[in-house]
Amino acid sequence: MERSSVSRRSFLKTSAVAAGTVIVANAGVNKVLGAAVGSDKLRIGLLGCGKRGSGAINDCLSSAENLEVTALGDMFVDSAKHLLGGLKQKWGDKCKVTEEKCFGGFDAYKKVIEADVDVVLMCVPPGFRPLHLKAAVEAGKHVFIEKPVAVDPVGVRSVIASAKLAAEKKLGIVAGTQRRHQKRYVEAMKRINEGAIGDITAMQVYWIGDYGYYPAVMKKPEWSEMEWQIRNWNYFTWLSGDHIVEQHVHNLDIAHWAMKGPPIKAIALGGRQQRTGPEFGHIYDHFSVEFEYPNGVKVSSYCRQNAKTSNRISESVIGTKGFSNCHGFITGENKWEFNGDDPNPYVQEHKDLIDSIRSGNPLNEGQRIAESTLMGILGRMSAYTGREISWDWALKASKLDLTPAKYEFGPNPVDGVAIPGETPLI
């Protein structure tokens, strides 16, 4: 997500804090202990040099001492070189990237991983993230990975496997769900999980907003289908997962947090009312999902990207002893209101990451963010097909894989807008 509008900035003041992780592969005890006392520089490679990648690398470099960025990669190498100029101007000696360490193309991720980095920040479109995460973990790198981490069940299973391998190799994975790293959320959710509002009876999560911060990109005659889709990635499901996955995953992750795990099934509806032009690809512009949990509790999920409409970006949870907005207050028998420092969660997630690496106990959020991502995918699949879908089936049996036939610039035909009752459940 980008931080480009006043409404989003004010919203993100009410966002997240938990744990963070990303860095040194196959490091020996001496290196880990040295890093713990701040004597070792940690080298960072960035994948994805657009707005989100630019924000992530700046947040990372400002989160701790003895960090330096040493490699940049993007599908379009000009983006990497453009970002390099800004990083050198802002960070000076913290930016060790040369033009030779600016990589482009479909294999840029391999070159960044091979560039003797300790930490890989993954800010590429979501459709590429399972592949890139697998490569980084196999190469022994720690990873900060933006949310969501996949766009289909096959990708989710890949991420879960990578998270397990990272645990075995004592590597860290931290996701860009910044609410998990924001103090007001951490304190509120700790109380909720410990029973401050009693047994949860219902929950609602919302990302109802505009889409001005995701401007559509018109196709230029010289661009192939593949190039245009990547440049206009928000509007193609194989790249973004649709906005219920790419954006609403923040709120779904709070539901996952409050409910202490995933749902057992979902039924959804959605559609496309304002998005009539080809520049909007084939994604929907609104979804409504009912998630059901093992105890019969229902979580209602609403997301929309429509211009000139009312906005609501929030979470709320109702229990037998009270109510909470999940980040600021609790009402009822155990009344509580947050009153304290609330550091920038975008910086805090990187600080938590660095601290955990240097402590020798790296955090691993891979399984959790994979499950939160699958919640969005489950809702999208239900809305696209018109079918009620169980969690176990989607996680274990669905064969849906949106990976293109070839990673190369040229033709890349995609399905039209999904039609419930006609779009097959795969």
Question: Is position 124 within any domain?
Answer: yes
Return the pLDDT at 359.
Answer: 95
| Domain count of the fold of the chain | 2
Which residues on neighbouring strands pair with residue 269, listed in sequence order? Answer: 288
CATH number at residue 67: 3.40.50.720
Q: Output the pLDDT for position 27.
A: 35
pLDDT recorded at residue 212: 83
For the segment 183-221, what is each residue's pLDDT rounded down to a tens digit? 999 999 999 999 999 999 999 999 999 888 789 999 999
Helices (H) and strands (E) in the chain, counts: 15, 15
> In the chain, which stretches have pLDDT less than 70?
1-39
| Whole-number Cα distances in Å, 110 to 14, 114, 176, 355 | 36, 6, 21, 26
Q: What does the alpha-carbon distance between residue 57 and residue 304 come to, in Å, rounded to a whole number?
A: 29
Q: With respect to residue 404, please indicate whether it lies within any of the assigned structural domains.
A: no
Do 146 and 16 share a structural domain?
yes
Query: Looking at residue 8, what is its pLDDT?
Result: 33
Same domain, 160 and 23: yes
Q: What is the pLDDT of residues 129-156, one digit of tens each?
A: 999 999 999 999 999 999 999 999 999 9
pLDDT of residue 94: 96
What gap in Å lies between CA 325 and CA 316, rounded to an integer?
4
Which structural domain, as residue segments, surrounds residue 89?
6-179+347-366
| Collapsed DSSP state (helix, strand, coil) of residue 292 | strand
Would you say 323 and 316 are in contact if contact means Cβ atoms under 8 Å apart? yes
Is residue 407 in a domain? no
Which letter, b or e, does each residue of 78-106 get, where b requires 16 or more Cβ atoms within 10 Å of its Cβ?
A: ebbbbbbeebeeebeebbbbeeebbbbbe
Specify the pLDDT at position 40. 80
Same-domain check for residues 125 and 202: no
- pLDDT of 214: 83
In this structure, are residues 212 and 307 in contact, taking their beta carbons and an 8 Å threshold?
yes
Extract the tokens encoding 340: 């304290």
Pairing, β 298-305 against β 312-319 = unpaired
| Domain shared by 167 and 303, yes or no | no
The answer to whether residue 65 is domain-embedded is: yes
pLDDT digits (tens, 9 = 90+) for 8-56: 333 333 333 333 333 333 333 333 333 333 448 899 999 999 999 999 9
pLDDT at 121: 98
How far, in Å, CA of 57 to CA of 62, rounded? 9
- CA dist 267 and 292 (Å) reads 9
- Whether 226 and 281 map to the same domain: the answer is yes
Same domain assignment for residues 171 and 244: no
